[in-house]
């Protein structure tokens, strides 16, 4: 994710999906893999829209190879701002994902990589609430 930081004006937003594991009987989440931008994604300086087919193919392959232990945990993308915050488009997209996408956990995680920090939000599929967890300095 850090290789896509928008630290120059000519860098477009980038993103992908987050895959990993929720450790039973704990609050720990382990990210094993994140996809990178691919053909079919829409990218501009202030917009990233993930193409579905290629990212889904990787999700399916990793899930199968891990015998179902590595699952879809959420989405990540970059913003051209120091300390990122979700736009109204981000919130709407995340809420749609929580409502409609198929995933095996109660929560999904949404990461925005800014130029100086990384923001992390947790979305609850039961009540569709999205709360900020942390901002981590890069």
Selected catalytic residue, list 13, 36, 39, 81: 13
Residue identified by tokens 């930081």 is 5
CA pair distance 18, 101, nearest whole angstrom: 14
Give catalytic status of residue 81 as yes or no: no
Contact 75, 110 (CB under 8 A): yes
Enzyme catalytic residues: 13
């Amino acid at each position: 994710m850090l290789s896509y930081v928008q630290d120059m004006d000519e860098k477009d937003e980038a993103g992908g999906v987050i895959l990993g594991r929720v450790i039973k009987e704990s609050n720990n989440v382990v990210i094993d893999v994140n996809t990178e931008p691919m053909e079919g994604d829409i990218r501009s300086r202030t917009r990233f829209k993930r193409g579905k087919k290629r990212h889904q193919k990787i999700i399916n392959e990793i899930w199968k190879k891990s015998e179902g232990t590595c699952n879809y945990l959420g989405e990540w993308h970059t913003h051209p701002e120091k300390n990122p915050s979700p736009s109204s488009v981000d919130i709407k997209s995340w809420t749609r994902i929580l409502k409609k996408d198929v995933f095996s956990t109660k929560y999904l995680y949404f990461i925005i990589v800014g130029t100086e920090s990384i923001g992390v939000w947790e979305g609850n599929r039961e009540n569709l609430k999205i709360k900020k967890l942390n901002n981590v300095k890069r």
